Structure 1
Amino acid sequence: MQVHTYASESLHASRGGIGLDDTPQSSRVSSTDQDAHARILRAALTEFTQRGYKGASTRGIAERAGVNEVTLFRHFGSKLDLLRAAVEQALMQMKIPQDLEPYLHGTLEQGLSQFISDYLLQVTAQSDILMLGFSEAFSQPEISDLLREFMWKMRGMIVRYFEAMRERGAIKEGDYPILAHIIMTSLHGAASMRKRTPIEMAQLSDERLTGCLVKTIVDAYARYAPDSPIHDTQLT
């Protein structure tokens, strides 16, 4: 038997379908329902980050949200649905830049530093739920699909950035997908290590992490030395 929930109804509508009837979803869902939905999701985020997926319970989430479990299951069909919604929300808040222009001005070092700084801030802000999502992705294909889609889009954007800088004469030919992979794993790994390693690692600043990663790439791939007058004037 198929269980129809608020969450599945939203997903159906977002894919161009209609829910239980022909009335637009925005008319069917009351502001009270929307408030309860948001409170349940916030409570789930807190429970998941504090207790982990296995340690969190729908009863605890419902109590934290100020609703009963019947209401919780009306909005989200299962605990897995809640985790999926939490991961999806975290990924939506991590904006993938569509316009690369702000990162293309100046030198490779300047543009790359700005991009990596922006990305690291977003990864750090969502690190708790992202770590949980990655840990559960091995056993939950739906979570894995969400993360894979996001990472693929982000990698594509980084590759396009390097290709644009190559056209401007700022970077040598290289394996840009591998460079993108190095950037992403470095930043996600750094955010994770800050949560799980001794205080010395946790205190590493964003500036230090960004500077080291940028210097490694620039030293290997910049068409001109960073301090060369040709490097600066070529890109103005």
Structure 2
Amino acid sequence: MTKPLEPWMEELLHGDSGARMTEKQARIFKAAIDVFAEKGYAASSTSEIAQRAGVAEGTIFRHYKTKKDLLLSIVTPAMVKLLAPFVVREIREVLDSDYESFDQFLRAMIDNRIAFLNQNRSLFKIIVQEIPFHPDLQEQLEHLIFSQVKGKLDAIVSKFKAEGKLIDLPSLTIIRLTAFSILGYVVLRDIVGRRDESKWDDELEREATINFIMKGLAP
């Protein structure tokens, strides 16, 4: 049974950018996503990607000069044409809402990011695994996504700082500390919870994460 495509893959393959792909390129594209997501870029091989795609390894190199080119052909178009507007669109509702407290905002953000991860697991895994090792991708991610949401995040943080509900630190520092705490919870929830639900108390972990952030940022 063929695994259903994630929403971002469906758009990239069958949207404007995907229209230029041949049938073999599309198979290579999907196989590379699966292998990169499962094993990471460094541990992946073009021979395994070719095997999963049902093509000769030489076919990959007719379309992509190197394995890095293959990775970039997946991540770069996704970030430039799809991921940035996709992520911003998905998170905009959270950023445009009004909150009575900062922890209410945290709960909405956590729910939003979990939903996004559940729908786009392969893309999330590839980005989390590869971004730290590819400065060119880091620059694009910061420029295309963070620059678009930074203003709204800053407005939310500044509002609660002005009300005396958050510590008087630079807004960017508060955003960074909050983002890494939420990311840590969401990633571990996915890794540990999916492997063995009996070892993961999600309600406890979520509340502990929110309390940790709130106590650390209390004035």
Same fold per superposition (TM over 0.5):
yes
Structure 1 stretches lacking a partner, 5+ long: 1-25, 224-236
Q: Which residue of 2 aligns with 1:162?
A: 157
Distance verdict in 2 for CA 1:199–1:72, change over 3 Å: same
Q: 2:72 aligns with which of 84, 102, 115?
A: 84
8 Å Cα contact 1:43/1:64 also seen in 2: yes
Aligned length: 190
Listed one character per residue, the Cα deviations across residues 177-216 of structure 1 (whole Å, up to 9, x for unaligned) are 12211122223333444538995896242x4443223333
Work out whether 1:182 is the aligned partner of 2:182.
no
Q: Structure 2 CA distance, aligned partners of 1:204 and 1:130?
A: 26
- Aligned-partner residue type, residue 209 of structure 2: L
Report which of the two structures shows the higher radius of gyration computed on alpha carbons. 1
Sequence identity, in percent?
A: 22
Q: Secondary structure at the match of 2:40?
A: helix
Query: Which 4+ stretches in 1 moved above 6 angstroms?
Result: none
Report the Cα offset of residue 133 of structure 1.
Answer: 0.8
Structure 2 stretches lacking a partner, 5+ long: 1-15
- Aligned-partner residue type, residue 214 of structure 1: I
Distance verdict in 2 for CA 1:85–1:123, change over 3 Å: farther
Distance verdict in 2 for CA 1:200–1:98, change over 3 Å: closer
With normalisation by structure 1, the TM-score equals: 0.60
Q: Which residue of 1 aligns with 2:4?
A: none
Q: Structure 2 CA distance, aligned partners of 1:196 and 1:134?
A: 22
- Aligned-partner residue type, residue 133 of structure 1: E
- Aligned-partner residue type, residue 179 of structure 1: I
Work out whether 1:145 is the aligned partner of 2:139.
yes
Work out whether 1:119 is the aligned partner of 2:113.
yes
Work out whether 1:210 is the aligned partner of 2:206.
yes
8 Å Cα contact 2:161/2:167 also seen in 1: yes
Work out whether 1:65 is the aligned partner of 2:56.
no
8 Å Cα contact 1:127/1:191 also seen in 2: no
Report the Cα offset of residue 162 of structure 1.
Answer: 1.4
Q: Structure 2 CA distance, aligned partners of 1:201 and 1:130?
A: 28
Report the Cα offset of residue 48 of structure 1.
Answer: 1.6
Q: Which residue of 1 aligns with 2:104?
A: 110
Structure in which a larger fraction of residues adopt helix: 2
Q: Which residue of 1 aligns with 2:87?
A: 95
Q: Secondary structure at the match of 1:143?
A: helix
Distance verdict in 2 for CA 1:193–1:222, change over 3 Å: closer
CA RMSD of aligned residues (A): 3.9
